[in-house]
Amino acid sequence: MKIRLSSSGIHIFNRLTGLNILLDELKVPSTFWAKVPRQVSIALTNICDLDCPFCFAPKNNAMLNYDLVIKWINELDNNGCLGIGFGGGEPTLHPRIIELCRYAAKCTNLAVTLTTHAHGLNEKMVAALSGHIHFIRVSMDGVGATYTSLRNKSFDTFLHCLQQAKDIAPLGINFLVNARTIPDLELAVALATDVGASEFLLLPEQPANGNDGIDSETINRLHSWVSGYNGRILLSVSELGSGNLPTCDPCVNEKGLDAYAHIDATGILKRSSFDSEGIVIGNSSIVETINQFRN
């Protein structure tokens, strides 16, 4: 169990079971609040072997140094962060991805999440990552022909990769929502339920790399669908895309950098992965860099 003190109260978290307990009736003096966000995503590399039209990641070969990442996750762990999410680009293309996950799982108390397109998974990598990741998120943008047209990968191959991902850790599905993918939403949730996913994350497309993002008509369709949803699998939504959707946020006092931050593949700390600006961490600590942001 890990304990985080914040403006929301005392947060108790078990990374193995995903259990969260918030004692919000207990008021914690501000001098004891965690100095870093509750969750931090880290883009290990911008390299990806796919070329999806909606991708927000810069198209360059940036890749984070192993020793720097180790330094950062130790600092996050020691200052109240509950979890890190390795992403990209495609994180399985980082040459030391297995070592990073193993270190974070064995040498820190952080929950380790991996977000991947899953096509790089094979038996050797599955065996090496199993037990060293607490939750794996797999991107599935559309079903069948929609997926194939967007990802230029066989959907049948993807389904095989999805089964491999299940052997690593509890599974979540990331589903980008735009005009091309929303017709597949019902089928996608049904498939996620059938494969035993425990979460279905809705990602309304954000403006990036010249794309306009999700349009107003599709937003209205999404809101209508969510309002009528009665499926078994847990729905969640990105903060940037939540809009007027009915969400539950128990940590209401933790907003912005108290809740989340992103480190891109060039070592820049940002408020989100879609931000165009941030602060280079460099030789500074993450706590110092966050304080720069706040000031």
The predicted-structure confidence for 163-193, as pLDDT tens digits, reads as follows 999 999 999 999 999 999 999 999 999 999 9
Alpha-carbon span 37 to 255, nearest angstrom: 9
Helix or strand or coil: residue 286?
Answer: helix
In tens, the pLDDT along 276-295 reads 889 999 989 999 999 999 88
- Which residues on neighbouring strands pair with residue 157, listed in sequence order? none
Q: What is the CA radius of gyration of the chain?
A: 19
Q: Say how far apart CA 71 and CA 85 lie, in whole Å.
A: 15
| Strand-pair partners of 130 | none
CA distance 64 to 55: 19
CA–CA separation, 263 and 272 (whole Å)? 8
Q: Provide, rounded to the nearest whole percent, the portion of the chain with pLDDT above 90.
A: 82
Q: Do the beta carbons of residue 156 and residue 185 sit within 8 Å?
A: no
Across 25-170, the runs of DSSP E, i.e. the strands, are 39-43, 83-87, 111-116, 135-139
Distance CA 36, CA 42 (A): 14
Q: Domains of the chain (ranges plus CATH)?
A: 2-294 (3.20.20.70)
Largest Cα–Cα separation, the chain: 54
Higher per-residue pLDDT: 73 or 252: 73
Burial of residue 200, with CB atoms counted within 10 A of its CB: 0-12 exposed, 13-18 middle, 19 or more buried: buried
The answer to whether 6 touches 80, Cβ cutoff 8 Å, is: yes
- pLDDT of amino acid 119: 95
pLDDT tens digit string along 66-123? 999 999 999 999 999 999 999 999 999 999 999 999 999 999 999 999 999 999 999 9
DSSP state of 205: P
Q: Residue 236 gets which letter from DSSP?
A: E
Q: How confident is the model at residue 23 (pLDDT cuts 50, 70, 90)?
A: very high
